[in-house]
Amino acid sequence: MKKTAVLALLLIAAHFAFAQSPKIISPDKNIEVQLVSPKGNNALWSFAVSYKNQVTVLPEVKLGLLLDDGDFAHNLKLKGQGKVKAVHDQYTAIHGKKSLATNDGNEISYHFANEGGTGMDVILRVYNNGIAFRYVFPEKKATPVKMMDELTSFHVADSSKRWLQKFVRSYEGFYPIQENNFKTGEWGYPALFKASGNAECWALITEADIDRNYCTTKLTNTAASKDEFKLTFPSAGDGNRTGDVNPTLSFPWQSPWRVAIIGQLADIVQSTLVDDVSRPPLTGENFDWVKPGTSSWIYWAYNHGTKDYQRVTQYVDLAARMQWPYTLFDWEWDQMSNGGDLEKAVAYSLAHGVKPLIWYNSGGKHNTVMSTPRDRLITHESRVKEFEWLNKIGIAGIKVDFFESDKQNIINYYIDILEDAAKYKLMVFFHGSTVPRGWNRTYPNLMTMEAVAGGEQYNNGPLMTTEGPAHNATLPFTRNVIGPMDYTPVSFTNSQYIHTTSYAHELALAVVFESGIQNFADRPSGFDNLPYAEKLFLTKVPAAWDDTKFVSGYPGKSVVIARQKGKEWFIGGINGDRRGGQTNIDFSFLPAGKKYKLTLMSDGDNDSAFQEQYLVVSNKDKIPVRWLPRGGFAGYMDEL
């Protein structure tokens, strides 16, 4: 055989080997991903994702980037691939679902080149509970490059059920189920899908590890392709039309991780994958001053309450009585009167053993909201001046509101606030914001983010009155999966619009929802009038957890979650349905061979009544519990 023929056969064999890339499999063998070569002109490389060899949950995940100096989507050549290597993520977290997070996966790098010969890598990780991949340009460039479009898209199985939130800049919307009449449009993260097949399989799509070198994205599907969800940049009008839609990249460069959490519902709810793939804090920084905790909050009951010093002190007193470490002074604190100003209120709070938190309008040209104080955090110089003062008078943290954009300039602004606040030992939580994307690992002083239709919606209209119960039972499977959520839960009285959830349902939200600062919403009388056991529960419940276990439930229907702190376990269950009935609490999450004294508080005869039970339980027990329509239960367990 001639040398040229041998060489041709070798090239064909090499191309076939790349085109038929071997499957990358999770350590537990449940998730498989295969790189698939383009089929036809202008087609894209893609991944095919399957679960337990039975369900093709993501039949096609397309890859590709369009830069202003090159096309890295069409006519890409696979030049080679690295060896599969093990990835072991283990780290401690100050707050979140787990104090010690562990995740195992396998990683491979694919090396592509475009028609001009410029290289681009795609790094793929396949974990036991999902996949993550990112684009990498490893070479330096003298000048920045603009990203014109990202062609990444997730094709979901055609018959998948979907829980999607219509995209709004504040992410304050609902996740209605789509079963047959699938909708098109723009969707915010996270997006939850249930694939049909022999093995039950769920997938939740989001992104993680956003840095200064990119913007965030959303998902878009069209009438022509309802099952394909493409990553899409922010809209030009976001942020009051300030900032560029297309991010500018400095090289070397890597994209955020594109993440799909995959598995059973327990895998979704318990997942820490968004944090696992995000960068750890800067080496050498000490965050032992960051203290998660519960807080009283004035705004829910009194929208202008922080203007009134006498009202503010009532909420300080409430926090002191309930042994909550914090109270939040919301907007208009700069207009406080009726006996005192801010500094007097701070001194009063500290004298009662309660650390004050304080609200700011993010301000700036990107922001159309004129609520005060605003514009004090815009520049590094103004932030330093403000943070020095806050540190001096004893403020423990700041709530920053109204960002109105996910463009690159606002991503930089978020990070600027976090980094400057850390220098002055200020905890941060964001409102009117984007959703978590792993920043609470990289910046542990980020305690929580709103990005949810939460308790304050009872101020804004009647929709939560009807939708709230099912919405509450959906959030643990969607929004709260990806990071802390400042829903501002637990209210027994009514705000401007009534809520139809039972008192036990509201009590359970202290456990069902996770947030590094948990702002309890009700007025003082709502807590003062609780029975002894329920009040004691709210003095004990923490805001950071050693472990989290999904017990039972289904999106929009119900959810039961157990969380561990030290030797204590807490449990919360809510019924999102308009029908009552009975559920069974399966205590198999408890450690084997140990017994616990359970204080259980469930629905009584009506929405505002409780029934208490005191039982001894072990991991072998299943306890029946009756709950009302839109009802619930809460409990805590001490080891015997």
Model pLDDT, residue 3: 42
Please say if the pLDDT value at position 5 is more than 90.
no
> Are 553 and 490 members of one domain?
yes
Task: Specify the DSSP element, H or E, that contains 526.
Answer: helix 524-528
Neighbouring-strand partners of residue 222: 225
Query: Is residue 315 helix, strand or coil?
Result: helix
Looking at residue 144, what DSSP letter applies? -
> Do residues 106 and 74 make contact, with C-beta atoms less than 8 angstroms apart?
no
Binning pLDDT at 50, 70 and 90, where does residue 12 land? Answer: very low
Neighbouring-strand partners of residue 124: 108, 133
Percent of the chain with pLDDT over 70: 97
> Are 302 and 400 members of one domain?
yes
Peptide bond into 476 cis (omega under 30): no
Distance between CA atoms of 637 and 621, rounded to whole angstroms?
13
More confident site: 5 or 278: 278
Question: Which pair of structure tokens corresponds to residue 162?
Answer: 């979907």
* Predicted TM-score (pTM) of this structure: 0.96
pLDDT in tens, 319-341: 999 999 999 999 999 999 999 99
Distance between CA atoms of 573 and 262, rounded to whole angstroms?
24
Please say if the pLDDT value at position 511 is more than 70.
yes
Distance between CA atoms of 418 and 412, rounded to whole angstroms?
10
Torsions phi, psi of 476, nearest 5? -65, -20
| Residue at 137 is within a domain | yes
Question: Which pair of structure tokens corresponds to residue 616?
Answer: 């001894």
Q: What separation in angstroms does the CA of 174 have from each of 327, 379, 429, 435, 476?
A: 28, 34, 22, 14, 13
Please say if the pLDDT value at position 9 is more than 70.
no
Beta strand segments in 529-595, E: 547-554, 558-565, 568-575, 581-586
Question: Which pair of structure tokens corresponds to residue 589?
Answer: 């999450």
Q: Which of 133, 115, 142 is nearest to 251 (CA)?
A: 142
pLDDT in tens, 240-292: 999 999 999 999 999 999 999 999 999 999 999 999 999 999 877 899 999 99
Please say if the pLDDT value at position 17 is more than 60.
no
Please say if the pLDDT value at position 1 is more than 80.
no
What CATH code is carried by the domain that includes residue 22? 2.70.98.10
Give the strand pairing for 427-430 and 610-617. Answer: unpaired
| Residue at 444 is within a domain | no
Please say if the pLDDT value at position 73 is more than 80.
yes
Please say if the pLDDT value at position 90 is more than 60.
yes
Looking at residue 455, what DSSP letter applies? G
> Do residues 235 and 245 make contact, with C-beta atoms less than 8 angstroms apart?
yes
What CATH code is carried by the domain that includes residue 569? 3.20.20.70
| Residue at 523 is within a domain | no
Please say if the pLDDT value at position 555 is more than 90.
yes
Distance between CA atoms of 232 and 217, rounded to whole angstroms?
5
| Residue at 489 is within a domain | yes
Distance between CA atoms of 551 and 561, rounded to whole angstroms?
5
Binning pLDDT at 50, 70 and 90, where does residue 13 land? Answer: very low
> Are 86 and 168 members of one domain?
yes
Total count of residues recorded for the chain: 640
Q: Give the rounded distance of the alpha carbon of 357 from its chain centre.
A: 22
> Are 123 and 270 members of one domain?
yes
> Do residues 527 and 541 make contact, with C-beta atoms less than 8 angstroms apart?
no
Residue given tokens 């470490």 in the structure block: 325
Annotate 270-313 with three-state secondary structure: HCCHHHHCCCCCCCCCCCCCCCCEEEEECCCCCCCHHHEHHHHH
Distance between CA atoms of 193 and 206, rounded to whole angstroms?
12
Residue given tokens 């070569």 in the structure block: 37
| Residue at 425 is within a domain | yes
* Cα within 13 Å of Cα(222), Cβ side: 6
Give the strand pairing for 517-520 and 446-449. Answer: unpaired
> Do residues 326 and 396 make contact, with C-beta atoms less than 8 angstroms apart?
yes
Distance between CA atoms of 469 and 457, rounded to whole angstroms?
13
> Are 120 and 95 members of one domain?
yes
Model pLDDT, residue 100: 98
Please say if the pLDDT value at position 11 is more than 70.
no
Stretch 570-586: mean pLDDT, rounded? 97
> Are 45 and 122 members of one domain?
yes
Please say if the pLDDT value at position 543 is more than 80.
yes
| Residue at 283 is within a domain | no
> Are 136 and 247 members of one domain?
yes
Torsions phi, psi of 61, nearest 5? -120, 100
In sequence order, what are the residues at sequence separation of 6 or more whose Cβ sits closer than 8 angstroms to the Cβ of residue 170?
404, 432, 433, 450, 451
Please say if the pLDDT value at position 113 is more than 50.
yes
In sequence order, what are the residues at sequence separation of 6 or more whose Cβ sits closer than 8 angstroms to the Cβ of residue 61?
46, 47, 48, 49, 133, 152, 153, 154, 155, 258, 260
Model pLDDT, residue 157: 85
Distance between CA atoms of 606 and 367, rounded to whole angstroms?
45
Model pLDDT, residue 198: 66
Please say if the pLDDT value at position 222 is more than 50.
yes
Binning pLDDT at 50, 70 and 90, where does residue 54 land? Answer: confident
Please give the residue range of the domain that contains residue 39. 3-276
Neighbouring-strand partners of residue 625: 583
pLDDT in tens, 440-499: 999 999 999 999 999 999 999 999 999 999 999 999 999 999 999 999 999 999 999 999
> Are 196 and 312 members of one domain?
no
In sequence order, what are the residues at sequence separation of 6 or more whose Cβ sits closer than 8 angstroms to the Cβ of residue 176?
163, 164
> Are 219 and 325 members of one domain?
no
Model pLDDT, residue 285: 82
Model pLDDT, residue 40: 82
| DSSP string across 52-75 | TTTEEEEEEEE--EEETTEEESTT
CA dihedral sign, ordered 378, 384, 389, 391: positive
Neighbouring-strand partners of residue 178: 162
> Are 67 and 19 members of one domain?
yes
Model pLDDT, residue 623: 97
Query: Is residue 519 helix, strand or coil?
Result: strand
* Cα within 13 Å of Cα(5), Cβ side: 2
pLDDT in tens, 292-303: 999 999 999 999
> Are 182 and 222 members of one domain?
yes
Stretch 351-375: mean pLDDT, rounded? 97
| Residue at 287 is within a domain | no
Stretch 100-119: mean pLDDT, rounded? 96
Model pLDDT, residue 200: 87
Domain count across the chain = 3
Residue given tokens 């009552």 in the structure block: 580
Stretch 104-119: mean pLDDT, rounded? 97
> Do residues 88 and 261 make contact, with C-beta atoms less than 8 angstroms apart?
no
What is the residue type of 262? I
Model pLDDT, residue 20: 55
Model pLDDT, residue 235: 98
> Are 20 and 152 members of one domain?
yes
Query: Is residue 421 helix, strand or coil?
Result: helix
